[in-house]
Structure 1
C-alpha cells in the first residue's frame, strides 16, 4: 500500500475512534448523539455513505464536537460532496483548536488544504442592468447575498437550482449540473421582465335601478298580454256557448221542456263553454289590470338620493 493510501486509512481509523464530545448537551441528547454516531460509523465502514452522513450530522447537532465533525467531513468526502467536506474539515479544525486537540487541528487543516484545489465552484453573476429594487437571488432555496454575487463559491456536485425574483417582475430560474470535482460554473441572471398588470375588477353596476324598473315593466307587459289573451279566450267560449245554445233550441220544443239527444248534448256543451268563458274573462281581466298597474308604477330611471343637511339633521 502506498503512503497516500496508508495515510488516508490511518486518518479514517483515527476518526472512527473519535466519539462526540460536547459539554452543553443534556444527558438525553448525549445518549442519542452517541447512538447516532455509532450507527454512522457502522454505515460508513460498510460503504453506505449517503446513509451515514445524515447520522453524523444529527449527532453533531445534538452534541457538537470536533470528533463528530471530522467523521462527518470524511463521510462527505467519501460521498463526493467535496465542498461540504472542505467546509466541515475547516470547522472541525477550529473546534479542535478551541478544545486543545492539536492533532485533530492538523488533520482538519491538512484535509481542507488537500481538497481546496479539487473543489467545483459556482459564480452567480448579476449585472447592473439586472439589479432592480428588491431583487433576491437564491441557490437551492437559500439566499445568495449581494456579497456573493460575482464570487466563486464552492458547491457539491449534482443539480442546483438558481432563482431570482423581484417585486413587480416575473420570476426567473435555471438548473445547472455541477461535476463532483474540479469544475468551474458561471450563471448570469438576466433582466427580469415586468410582471403583467393585475386585472382591474369591473366598476359597480350603476344601472341596476333602471334595469329593475325595466324588469317590472317587462313583467307588467307580459301580464297585460296574458290578460288580453284570457279575455280573447273568454270571448271565444262565450260565443261558442251562445252558438251551442242556439243549436239546442232547434232540437227542442218551443218551451225547451223536451229535447232529443242532440239537443241535450248541445245544452251540456253550451253550459261548459259558458263556465270556461266566465273563468277566462275573470282571469284575463285580473291579469290585464295587474299588468297595467305594474307597468305604470315601474321606476323610470336611477337617481342618486339627495341629502338635505341642516344643523344636526340629515334628510
Structure 2
C-alpha cells in the first residue's frame, strides 16, 4: 500500500504525476533512461512520494549518473528516518536496497575541483553543464557524474571560454580554468612608488620600461605547509562525515536489536540490525582514524608554519639595479652620497 500523497498536491497534478511515473517506469525497464529518468523526476516533483523517489534513484543508477543516484538514495533514507513505524514497515525492503546501493556507489563517484586564476576579474561567471557555480563552489572537490562535461567562463564584457573533458568513475581531477578578457583590456599592473623611476638606456628611448621580475611565489617549505594543512582539513572532514554516518547506523541497530531478559549485554537483532551494527563499528573506526590523522597533520602544519625561516633580505647598501646602471649608497665620516656605476 502506498503512502498517502501530501495534502498540498492538487488532483490534476496527482493524475499527471501518475501518468509520468508509469511512462518513466516503462522507459526505465526498456533501457531508455534518457527519457525515463526525467519523466520520473517530474512525477516526483509534482506529487512527492517515497516510491517515486526510490524509483528515480534506481533509474539514475542504471543510467550511470551515480553522483545523482547517491544523492537520491540519501534523500530517500532521510525521508525514511522521518516515517512512522507503520510506514517504515511498508518501505523496509526499499530502505535495505537504498543503503546497499548508496554504500556501493559512493566510493565510485568522481570528484572535480574547478579553480579560477588569481587575476580573474570580479564578476567572472563559471558554469558547469549549464549550472552557474558561485564562489563557494570553486576551489573545492565536488561530486559529479562520470562522462563528458562542459565548463565555461566569462569575464564581464568578455567572450565565453569553453572547456570540454571526460571524467571516469573514482577519478579525482583539478582543472585550472582560463578567462578571456575583453578586447583591448590589459591585466592590472602594480603601480610603483613615487620615488621609483625606471632608467632607460640612451639607445632605447621610446621603448616601454621593463617591468620588475615576477614574484618567485611561495617557498618550497610554505607549499609543503599548505599541502599538509589541506590533508589535515580533508581528514577532519572525513572523520566528521563517517562519524555522522556511524551514529545514523547505530540508531538503526538500536531500533532493530532487543536485549535478552536475564542476560545482561546480550541482545537479539534482525538481519537489518546486525548489518547496521557492523557498519556502525566500521564507520566508527574510520571516523576515529580520520580525526586522529587530521589532528596530527594539523599540528604538523602549524609547526611547519611557525618554524619557517624568514625570506632573505637584500644586501645593505645596495638600493637597486635597473638596466645597465647600479645605484649604491655611500657613507663616510664627513658626509655621504649616491654613486652611479654602469656602462653606456
* TM-score between the two structures when normalised by the length of structure 2: 0.47
Report the CA distance between 1:150 and its aligned residue: 1.6
Q: Structure 1: how far apart are the matches of 2:28 and 2:158?
A: 47
Q: Secondary structure at 1:129's aligned position in 2? A: coil
Q: Structure 1: how far apart are the matches of 2:4 and 2:23?
A: 13
Q: Structure 1: how far apart are the matches of 2:122 and 2:27?
A: 48
Q: In the alignment, which residue of structure 2 is the partner of 1:155? A: 144
CA offsets 1:183-239 (integer angstroms, 9 cap, x no match): 223221124334337xxxxxxxxxxxxxxxxxxxxxxxxxxxxxxxxxxxxxxxxxx
Segments of structure 1 that go 5 or more residues without pairing to the other structure are 1-16, 198-315
Higher strand share: 2
Q: Structure 1: how far apart are the matches of 2:117 and 2:141?
A: 15
* TM-score between the two structures when normalised by the length of structure 1: 0.51
Report the CA distance between 1:139 and its aligned residue: 0.6
Going from structure 1 to structure 2, the CA distance change for 1:37 and 1:194 (only over 3 Å counts) comes to closer
Q: How many residues align?
A: 179
Is the 2:128–2:151 Cα contact (8 Å) retained in structure 1?
Answer: yes
Q: In the alignment, which residue of structure 1 is the partner of 2:109? A: 119
Is the 1:137–1:163 Cα contact (8 Å) retained in structure 2?
Answer: yes
Is the 1:19–1:37 Cα contact (8 Å) retained in structure 2?
Answer: no
Report the CA distance between 1:98 and its aligned residue: 2.9
1:215-226 to 2 correspondences below 5 Å: none
Report the CA distance between 1:40 and its aligned residue: 2.3
Q: Secondary structure at 1:167's aligned position in 2? A: coil
Q: In the alignment, which residue of structure 2 is the partner of 1:236? A: none
Q: Given the alignment, which residue of 183, 186, 193 partners 1:195? A: 183
Q: Structure 1: how far apart are the matches of 2:134 and 2:96?
A: 32
1:18-57 to 2 correspondences below 5 Å: 21-57=5-41
Moved more, 68-77 or 167-176: 167-176
Is the 2:110–2:171 Cα contact (8 Å) retained in structure 1?
Answer: yes
Is the 1:93–1:106 Cα contact (8 Å) retained in structure 2?
Answer: no
Q: In the alignment, which residue of structure 1 is the partner of 2:334? A: none
Going from structure 1 to structure 2, the CA distance change for 1:170 and 1:183 (only over 3 Å counts) comes to same
Is the 1:125–1:187 Cα contact (8 Å) retained in structure 2?
Answer: yes
CA offsets 1:168-193 (integer angstroms, 9 cap, x no match): 444322111223x2222322112433
Q: In the alignment, which residue of structure 2 is the partner of 1:249? A: none
Residue 178 (structure 1) aligned with residue 206 (structure 2): no
Q: In the alignment, which residue of structure 2 is the partner of 1:86? A: 70
Report the CA distance between 1:138 and its aligned residue: 0.8
CA RMSD of aligned residues (A): 2.4
Is the 2:153–2:179 Cα contact (8 Å) retained in structure 1?
Answer: no
Q: Structure 1: how far apart are the matches of 2:51 and 2:148?
A: 30
Is the 1:82–1:156 Cα contact (8 Å) retained in structure 2?
Answer: yes
Larger RCO of the pair (alpha carbons < 8 Å, separation 6+): 1
Q: Structure 2: how far apart are the matches of 1:20 and 1:160?
A: 39
Q: Structure 1: how far apart are the matches of 2:2 and 2:58?
A: 12
Report the CA distance between 1:30 and its aligned residue: 1.0
Q: Structure 1: how far apart are the matches of 2:62 and 2:158?
A: 42
Q: Structure 1: how far apart are the matches of 2:122 and 2:160?
A: 14
Larger-Rg structure: 1
Higher helix share: 1
Q: Secondary structure at 1:137's aligned position in 2? A: strand
Residue 165 (structure 1) aligned with residue 158 (structure 2): no
CA offsets 1:104-130 (integer angstroms, 9 cap, x no match): 555434422321101122210223233
